Structure 1
Amino acid sequence: MEIDGLFTALLFGAVIGGLGRLVIPGRQHVSLLATVLVGIVAALLGTAAATVLGVADTGGIDWIELALQVGLAGAGVTLWANRSQQKLVH
């Protein structure tokens, strides 16, 4: 992977992770690094799911793919926040 691809993945992961945090109500105690990592994973999984469903390469903006990515990021942020909370309780 070239440096351009790495930078793009980090930027896109931050955006997807941030959007994922926005769709979750309330405050999440998740670091920026964790948000970016969750966003990158959600972007990859969302693209894979959109490819399987046949909606990844449409003309214009792929709204269904984006919705899948943001939904997965929201789920990932929720799981990460709950995991962090459980560590604090024990």
Structure 2
Amino acid sequence: MGLGIIGWLVIGVVAGWLAEKVMGRNHGLLTNLVVGVVGALLGGFISNNLLGVPVGGFNLVTLLVAFGGACLLLFLLGLVKRR
């Protein structure tokens, strides 16, 4: 079962907020949403294409993949921002 738009938004906000706390950043709700949704796409791509583990649905694994992707996104943005 796939995620609807509300599921994407909920997972995005939660993953973005968790990544913000772990990475020591301070963003607003909208930025957390964007970071979380883009992180979910990034994490899903890595999980599916590089690890061979498809992820989908509204569950803890999806949240963990989105959180990992969001942390990776914030880390990469931090590297680019330093230059």
TM-score surpassing 0.5? Answer: yes
**Rounded Cα–Cα distance in structure 1 between residues aligned with 2:10 and 2:22:** 19
Mark the runs of 5 or more structure 1 residues left unpaired by the alignment. Answer: 84-90
SS at match of 1:30: coil
SS at match of 1:23: helix
**Rounded Cα–Cα distance in structure 2 between residues aligned with 1:77 and 1:35:** 11
Query: What is the match of residue 5 of structure 1?
Result: 4
Is contact 1:42–1:72 with CA below 8 Å preserved after alignment?
A: yes
AA aligned to 2:38 is: V
Query: What is the match of residue 69 of structure 2?
Result: 72
Say how many residue pairs are matched: 73
**Aligned residues: CA RMSD:** 2.9
Over alpha carbons, which structure has the higher Rg?
1
**Structure 2 length as normaliser, TM-score?**
0.65
**Rounded Cα–Cα distance in structure 2 between residues aligned with 1:61 and 1:6:** 17
1:13 Cα deviation (Å)? Answer: 0.3
CA offsets, 1:11-41, max 9 Å, x none?
110111112112113xx23111011111001
Is contact 1:30–1:77 with CA below 8 Å preserved after alignment?
A: no
Return closer, same or farther for 1:23/1:46 CA change in 2, 3 Å cut-off. Answer: same
Q: Percent identity?
A: 32
1:56 matched to 2:54: yes
**Structure 1 length as normaliser, TM-score?**
0.61
Is contact 1:46–1:72 with CA below 8 Å preserved after alignment?
A: yes
Q: Runs in 1 of length 4+ with deviation above 4 angstroms?
A: none
